[in-house]
Amino acid sequence: MTINYYRPAIDGGSGGARISATYTRAGTDPAISNPTFIQMVDTNDPLGGTTSPYIDPRPNDDTLPFYWTTGEMAQTTNAGAGTIQFTDFSKRSPLANPDYMPGWDTYWRGELMLASWAGGTSKDVTIYDGFVWDWYIDVFPPSSPAIASSGSAASFDKGPEAVPEPASLSLLAIGGLAMAMMMRRFRK
């Protein structure tokens, strides 16, 4: 299986990660009829009225335990080449659940597995291999107010402050001094 990309992502007020993976059957792999993906999710912020862990997607859009529906599989599979594609953008928003604010944090962990299913009424699924991908978001609460020196008003921290850097000329002078001392030491 090849991971095409795996990166942090945001969408409006939500954050999470995007992933794309491709499985192409190699000559040494077993023949897999009807390859598909199963993804189990463990999170402290489950969707679709479920409890964690659960089989993705939630809310479910069919009665099968697979990531793609039968119709979606036709768009993500090249059966002749033994190739199947997986893409996902798992995300959560602190704004969707105000009980989590401030100090909201969430973790999300997906276990993606390549699988096959005989179809029909069979309840047997064969799991071949897979990988784990996850992310964590922590929303820091606002800073406590700092009381102004007059004691009559509070000023709130507006985020990180710039840290002044040493002037380039000062760094050059320090470097020059160090070089002069080294040269003097080696001349003795």
Q: pTM of the full predicted structure?
A: 0.64
pLDDT digits (tens, 9 = 90+) for 113-160: 988 877 777 778 888 889 999 998 877 655 555 555 555 554 555 555
Specify the pLDDT at position 183.
80
Q: What is the phi-psi region of residue 49: left when phi exceeds 0, alpha when psi lies from -120 to 50, beta otherwise?
A: left
Q: What stretch of H or E contains 113?
A: strand 105-117
The residue among 42, 3, 34, 44 whose CA lies nearest residue 130 is 3
Portion of the chain with pLDDT greater than 70, in percent: 64
Q: Domain residue spans in the chain? A: 2-138
Specify the pLDDT at position 179.
81
**Mean of the per-residue pLDDT values for the chain?**
75
